[in-house]
Amino acid sequence: MTGWQQNTPVPPPRRRPIEFRRVAIGFGIAMGVNLLILVPMLFGLGTQDGVIFGGFLYLILQVLLVPGLLVTGIVQTIRQDGGIGVGLMIGWAIGGLVSFGGCIALLNAGGV
C-alpha cells in the first residue's frame, strides 16, 4: 500500500492569550479615533451654524465608528487576538462617552 495516508486531524490555530499590553494597544487605538472625531467641531467654534454642523458631523462619524471599532473588536476577540479586540471594545465604549462629553462641551462653548 503505497498510497496510504494517516488521517490525523489538523489542530486549530492557537489563540493568542489576552495580554494587558495588547488590550492597552487596542484601547489606545479606539480612544485616539474617538477623540479624533472631535476635531471637525473645533473648526466651527466661531459661528453657531458651524458648531451645529460640527455636532451633526460628530454624530455621523460616531455612527460610522460603531461597525469600524465594535465589529472589528468582536471579530478580533473571536478569531485569534483577544487582547486587541477587547481593548477596541473597551476603548470604543469609554471613548464614546468621553467624546460625547467633549461634543456637549464644545456645543455649549459655541453658544448653542
Domain range annotation of the chain: 20-109
What is each CA distance from 57 to 19, 26, 52, 68, in whole angstroms? Answer: 35, 24, 9, 16
11 pLDDT exceeds 80? Answer: no
pLDDT of res. 73: 87
What pTM was estimated for this model as a whole? 0.73
Higher-confidence residue of 70 and 23: namely 23
Return the bridge partners of 81, or none.
16
- When mean pLDDT is compared over 26-30, 31-35, 37-41, 79-83, the highest value belongs to 26-30
Q: What Rg do the C-alpha atoms of the chain give, in angstroms?
A: 21
58 pLDDT exceeds 70? Answer: yes
